[in-house]
Amino acid sequence: MKRNLIAVFLFFSFIACDPASTKKNYPLHLSDVIMGTSYTIKVTSLPGSIEKDELISQIKRRLETLDQTMSTYRQDSELSQFNRSQSLQWQNVSKSLLTVLKEAKRINELTAGAFDITVGPIVNLWGFGPDPMLHKAPGSEVIEAALKKTGSEYLLLDEVGQKIKKTLPDLYLDLSAIAKGYAVDVVGELLEQQGVLDYMVEIGGELRLKGTNANNKPWRIAIEKPTSEARVIQKVLPLSDISLATSGDYRNYFEVGNVRFSHTIDPRTGKPISHKLASITILSHTTMEADATATALMVLGPVKGYELAQEKDIAALFIIKINDGFVEKASSAFLEKF
Ligand code: ADP
Ligand code: MG
């Protein structure tokens, strides 16, 4: 790895710091992989009416279906078919895809374009999409050309008719920064429908927490210190009935020489972000919103991102690089929760 001065890290940024966490303490404790990442589900107590194996297969089927719908890594996914299509006609879509696209457009507007699922072609140019890693920076003409194919305004939604269309044939959508969050919400809602009151659902570091853990206490979630070398705890948050997501440039990036390229793209420039914001954690009612907002504020950086969090009442914790370490800065909405 070092030989080519290239390093790629694909981990996530939470350590579920749960002292009660042995398998026997949770009647349902499931870990597996989906959407190119790992997931963990813990249920503190299962209502007697529930057939556990049936619930597990229901969860797995649901996650599999969502991956099959929203993955850009699967050529046959609903999203990949839409991406490949050059048609400017309305196309029928599943309810779940429409839900995620609607939220993606809302967060795009809320963040003045910082969150933009149409940056897909640029994500791919920089080697963070389904294509193999390039490990070199693309030229400015290539970026300019790709930028012309982006913009959430080229995606139209018809909620009543459950249809979507592009007004630009090459429009290509990448839901990597929102689909995991949505999947977490879907699993959480499935559990709640079954009468489960206390649970933790985590996919690739995006979390939804309800009730209490096996110690009858709020869930304890550790936020990592944003360094790629070791997994060190920065802060532990006691949390219930809330979702959270973290974005960071310290786990998924590549390096050429001494320059580090983040997988978060600034849709205004078509380039990976470069500022002193090392990680951002968002608390929110839905994991989908937390997930997308974390990426958006990561794009905006420590100054503009903080201003937006204050203006829109977003609960955000910024971890900012300084010369010899990190400083934390929390928005007012974040501070109110603790
Ligand atoms: P993080 O945890 O760092 O937010 P995610 O996996 O949630 O990581 O999201 C990062 C992915 O989102 C990238 O790999 C890319 O596919 C996509 N992406 C990058 N920049 C943006 C952006 N500005 N808006 C929306 N999606 C983006
Ligand atoms: Mg994210």
Q: What is the pLDDT of residues 212-236, one digit of tens each?
A: 999 999 999 988 777 766 677 878 8
Ligand 1 mean position, distance from CA 179 (Å): 10
Ligand nearest to the CA of 37: 1
Let me know the angle formed at the C-alpha of 142 by 84 and 102, rounded to the nearest 5 degrees.
45
Ligand 1 mean position, distance from CA 194 (Å): 32
**What pLDDT score was predicted for residue 249?**
65
d(CA 218, CA 215): 8
**What pLDDT score was predicted for residue 3?**
25
Ligand 2 mean position, distance from CA 209 (Å): 17
Please report, for the chain, the start and end positions of each structural domain, with discontinuous segments joined by +: 87-166
Ligand nearest to the CA of 116: 1
Check if 126 has its Cβ closer than 6 Å to any atom of ligand 1. Answer: no
Give pLDDT tens digits for 154-188.
999 999 999 999 999 999 999 999 999 999 999 99
pTM here is: 0.92
Ligand 1: which atom is nearest the Cα of residue 72? 16
SS3 of the chain: CHHHCCCCCCCCCEEECCCCCCHHHCCEEEEEEECCEEEEEEECCCCCCCCHHHHHHHHHHHHHHHHHHHCCCCCCCHHHHHHHCCCCCCEECCHHHHHHHHHHHHHHHHCCCCCCHHHHHHHHHCCCCCCCCCCCCCCHHHHHHHHCCCCHHHEEEECCCCEEEECCCCCCCCCCCCHHHHHHHHHHHHHHHCCCCCEEEEECCEEEEECCCCCCCCEEEEEECCCCCCCCEEEEEEECCEEEEEEECCCCEEEECCEEEECCEECCCCEECCCCEEEEEEEECCHHHHHHHHHHHHHHHHHHHHHHHHHCCCEEEEEEEECCEEEEEECHHHHHCC
Ligand 1 mean position, distance from CA 243 (Å): 18
Check if 174 has its Cβ closer than 6 Å to any atom of ligand 1. Answer: yes
**What pLDDT score was predicted for residue 224?**
79
Ligand 1 atom 16: the closest Cα is on which residue? Answer: 176
Ligand 2 mean position, distance from CA 143 (Å): 23
Check if 184 has its Cβ closer than 6 Å to any atom of ligand 1. Answer: no
- Taking the chain (338 residues) in runs of 10, the rounded mean pLDDT of each run is 28 53 82 96 95 97 98 96 98 98 98 97 88 77 95 98 98 98 98 97 96 96 77 86 88 64 91 90 98 97 97 96 90 95
Assigned architecture for domain 87-166: Orthogonal Bundle (1.10)
**What pLDDT score was predicted for residue 136?**
76
Cβ count within 10 A of residue 1: 8
